[in-house]
């Protein structure tokens, strides 16, 4: 999709981080924006921070709920008449020892990080195919390319997003469709994901603070979301599938792939 001006984009997780950076960058391209997030005050504040020239609407949405994704699409159509780009971007962090993670934490991470993308593709893809143009961007992670310890639920969800995206890419190619798909696989980015447990049902303030303290320094030193958004825009315009943002990612992927080819144990890689 070389021409974005006047088209409509839906961005989940739009209140902060990569999502908000995408909103700003797509807006600069002249797109109409549907901003979706579960955190209402943050979503409204994010929308209010944008230039008046960016045409947008906000929609409260729990992306783990397929019915709410259906409602998100209806809201987008009612507001702007069409959808051309879908960024399934909302996500949360989560991990711990495989022996200790409880089932509620498994379910929460996989519902938000994987099922949200499944819902997004299922709901929006038919309309994109029918209109004969469009692009889907699924936010995964380097955690979907190689596995670090103590991040089981997150790794599994992100591997699922990569597999879903690869499958969709192959299907679209076989159908000779003009619709494109990209999978975004960043490493550390300066976002609020370290405190994403704040949105987990029944979570304590102490748990949120503990997770933020552990992961916060690495995230604070991470890449600017604006640079990630630039890479996404380039991929949408050029119909590029893989979006990797960090220089050390190819080497880590090569080590993992080499271990598969050689039949050796997985390398001990960190994100």
Residue with tokens 């991929």: 235
Supply the pLDDT for residue 200. 55
DSSP for 89-152 reads -------B-TTT--HHHHHHHHIIIIIHHHHHHHHHHHHHHHHT--EEEEE--GGGTS--TTBH
Residue 201 domain-assigned? no
CATH of the domain at 152: 3.40.50.720
SS3 190: coil
> Dihedrals φ, ψ of 138, to 5°?
-105, 120
Residue 17 domain-assigned? yes
Residue with tokens 């679209």: 172
Read off the pLDDT band of 163 (50, 70, 90): very high
Give the catalytic positions in this structure: 154
pLDDT in tens, 106-141: 999 999 999 999 999 999 999 999 999 999 999 999
Residue 240 domain-assigned? yes
Residue 35 domain-assigned? yes
Alpha helices of the chain — where are they, by DSSP H? 17-28, 40-48, 66-80, 103-110, 116-131, 152-174, 205-220, 225-238, 249-262
**Single pTM value for the model:** 0.91
> Dihedrals φ, ψ of 84, to 5°?
-115, -35
pLDDT in tens, 180-230: 999 999 988 987 654 545 455 654 454 444 455 555 566 676 789 999 999
Residue 21: partners with Cβ closer than 8 Å, 6 or more residues away? 224, 225, 226, 228, 229
Q: How far apart are CA 174 and CA 165, in angstroms?
A: 14
Q: How far apart are CA 253 and CA 269, in angstroms?
A: 10
Can you give the residue range of the structural domain that contains 231? 8-192+224-244
How many structural domains are present in the chain?
1
Q: Which two tokens stand for residue 158?
A: 């992100």
Residue 24 domain-assigned? yes
Residue 198 domain-assigned? no
């Amino acid at each position: 999709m070389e021409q974005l001006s006047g088209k409509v984009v839906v961005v989940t997780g739009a209140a902060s981080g990569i999502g908000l950076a995408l909103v700003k960058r797509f807006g600069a391209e002249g797109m109409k924006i549907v901003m979706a997030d579960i955190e209402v005050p943050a979503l409204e504040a994010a929308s209010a921070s944008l230039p008046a020239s960016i045409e947008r609407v906000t929609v409260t949405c729990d992306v783990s709920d397929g019915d709410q994704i259906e409602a998100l699409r209806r809201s987008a159509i009612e507001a702007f008449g069409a959808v051309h780009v879908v960024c399934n971007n909302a996500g949360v962090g989560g991990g711990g020892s495989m022996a200790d993670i409880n089932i509620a934490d498994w379910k929460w991470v996989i519902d938000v990080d994987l099922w949200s993308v499944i819902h997004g593709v299922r709901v929006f893809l038919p309309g994109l195919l029918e209109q004969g143009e469009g692009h889907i961007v699924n936010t995964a992670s380097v955690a979907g390319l190689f596995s670090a310890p103590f991040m089981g639920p997150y790794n599994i969800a992100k591997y699922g997003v990569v597999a879903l995206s690869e499958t969709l890419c192959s299907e679209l190619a076989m159908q000779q469709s003009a619709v494109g798909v990209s999978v975004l696989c960043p490493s550390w980015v300066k976002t609020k994901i370290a405190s994403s447990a704040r949105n987990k049902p029944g979570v304590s303030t102490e748990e949120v603070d503990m997770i933020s303290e552990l992961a916060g320094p690495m995230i604070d030193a991470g890449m600017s979301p604006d640079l990630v958004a630039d890479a996404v825009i380039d991929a949408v315009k050029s119909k590029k599938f893989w979006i990797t943002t960090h220089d050390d990612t190819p080497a880590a992927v090569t080590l993992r792939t080499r271990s598969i080819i050689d039949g050796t144990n997985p390398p001990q890689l960190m994100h």
